[in-house]
Amino acid sequence: MSEGTVWPLEPHTAAKHEILRRYLGAWFAILGRQNRRLVYVDGFCGPGRYTDGEPGSPLVAVEVVQTLAGKIAAKPELVFIDNDELRIDNLKLELRSEASNSYNMHIICGEFRDKFPRVINSLVRRQQPTPPLFAFIDPFGFSGIPFDLVRRILSYERSEAFILLNTNALRRFLEHSNHEIRIHIAETFGTSDVFEISTASFDRLMALRELYQKQLSQHAKFVRYFEMLDSSGSTIYHLFFATNNPLGFEKMKDAMWAVDRTGAFRFSDRTDPNQMILLGPDPSGDLAATLAERFGGQTHDAQLVKRWVVENSIFVRKHVTAALRYAERNGQIAVGESKSDGSRRKRNTYPDGSTIKFRDR
């Protein structure tokens, strides 16, 4: 094995892989009971392990599927792509003893942008109905992930994409004179409008995030981005998740919140550029304030409030009850004693059918 084939595991990469592990556990378990075929693609898979033996993303996926063997009806197709022959050879060695009747594995050497369309043709288009597809796109740098390819992935109704975008590097290269680099940048965003950011006076990172989210939102109903920060508070990169499935969207958010928050790295969301929300241990007050801002002076069924939280904020369903208790305790809301079916609501609970009146701000 030559030097550089494997490398040390960085803390932020470990956090990213834990998010992937948790989400795949839900994705394979839920969809694997409803479908005979699932397709998982790791577009920049790497050598499989890090220098101290930690599993890379391909082994994470294999381990998740193995834990579900015999529990799901599906036989997943696991596709691993990398353009480096030495990394592919190392991955084959790592997975040589992992063959299983519970899944099919395809290890492919080549450029993701070239090989992935063939995967689509062979594993997706030939099957009716089209099987659910999850694409993990984690490039080395920012080239090789043209937005046309992302658009194609999301064109399938039951497809999802989890994409790492190196916005920090992109910010530095926006004004680069090299024509090839500028082509890569325009391809990544699917528009030459990205270069207008280089002439603007506002926050370039925020502008890059917003542009990529806007592009994804044209092809997916649910899009969420998370900012990976290092211990000094500097941005490393952004993770984008795009799906047409509300349950998938909710499960990905659950996975993000479940990652151990050691303080060395934080995930944040700036859907509202005027508000930085950090994933803290008790977000009840923050969510109560968000709900007051959104629903002040309005009355709604608790079900609508929960759905809004899941689909339009960084928070997740488990935070809603605590936030509503906080709001009720502080006089921010009034809750009906009875539900819409006439049954009585238990104190400190907010079931579907209960009415929540938000104080006018």
pLDDT in tens, 193-231: 999 998 776 788 889 999 999 999 999 999 988 888 776
- 189: Cβ contacts below 8 Å, ≥ 6 apart: 147, 211, 212, 215
Q: Are strands 159-165 and 235-243 parallel, antiparallel or unpaired?
A: antiparallel
Question: Among the listed ranges 19-28, 105-114, 118-127, 214-223, which one has the minimum average pLDDT value?
Answer: 118-127
Tell me the average pLDDT of the chain: 89
Give the 3-state secondary structure of residue 152: helix
Neighbours of 249 (CB within 10 A): 21
Q: Give pLDDT, residue 280.
A: 57
Closest CA to 203 of 168, 239, 233, 163: 168
pLDDT of residue 228: 81
Which amino acid would we find at residue 215? Q
Q: What is the pLDDT of residues 308-338, one digit of tens each?
A: 999 988 888 989 999 999 999 999 999 999 9
The phi and psi torsions of 101 (rounded to 5 degrees) equal -80, -5
Total residue length of the chain:
361
Whole-angstrom distance, CA of residue 13 vs CA of residue 338: 48
Strand order in the sheet with 277-278: 104-109, 77-82, 39-42, 133-137, 159-165, 235-243, 222-229, 266-269, 277-278
266 compared with 8, residue with greater pLDDT: 8
Amino acid letter for position 56: G
CA pair distance 358, 294, nearest whole angstrom: 10
Nearest Cα neighbor of 46 from 167, 159, 136, 161 is: 136
Distance CA 359, CA 142 (A): 47
pLDDT of residue 227: 81
The helix/strand/coil state of 100 is: coil
Token look-up 């502080």 returns 330
Whether residue 25 is predicted with pLDDT greater than 60 in this model: the reply is: yes
pLDDT of residue 265: 39
- Find the mean pLDDT for residues 142-165: 93
Q: How confident is the model at residue 55 (pLDDT cuts 50, 70, 90)?
A: very high
Contact between 302 and 351 under an 8 Å Cβ cutoff? The reply is yes
Sign of CA dihedral 81, 83, 87, 88: positive
Q: Given 3-state DSSP classes, what are the helix, strand and coil percentages for the chain, each rounded to the nearest 5?
A: 45, 20, 40
Q: What is the pLDDT of residue 267?
A: 54
Prediction pTM value? 0.89
- Spell 269-281 as b/e; 16+ CB within 10 A means b: bbeeeeeebebee
pLDDT of residue 281: 65
Per-residue pLDDT at 126: 67
User: Is residue 162 predicted with pLDDT exceeding 90?
Assistant: yes
Q: Which residues pair with 40 in a beta bridge?
A: 78, 134
Cα gap 183→1, rounded to integer Å: 34
Tokens standing for 242?
Answer: 């795009």
pLDDT value of position 17: 94
